[in-house]
Amino acid sequence: MSRGASRLSNVSLMTQTPFDSFDETHGEHQAALAYVTEAFAEAILAGIESDSFAQAALMASLRELVATYGEEAVVKLAEALPGKIRAGEFTCASRH
């Protein structure tokens, strides 16, 4: 990829928010979610409190998203969270 193409790609990433590209039905996204779910279960089995692990996972995720998309895109993501939470987008039938 040329430098110009790389820059264009980075510009498009900066205008796209992290949730715009996540599709739970996409194979790679399903696999990634399965890995995170498995890590969560292993941490709980190791005696780590679920809320401690969730907060650590959230911090690690935000750092990775900032590194990938930049601060402003992640701010837009965070600003959209209250509506998504209230709409039940993160609600699971069972609790950990």
**Measured in Å, how far apart are the chain's first and last C-alpha atoms?**
44
92: tokens are 């699971």
Number of residues assigned to the chain: 96
0.75 exceeded by pTM: no
| Per-residue confidence (pLDDT) for residue 66, from 0 to 100 | 96
Residue 96 is classified by DSSP as -
Collect the ranges in the chain with pLDDT lower than 70: 1-26, 94-96
d(C-alpha 89, C-alpha 28), whole Å:
20
| Per-residue confidence (pLDDT) for residue 18, from 0 to 100 | 58
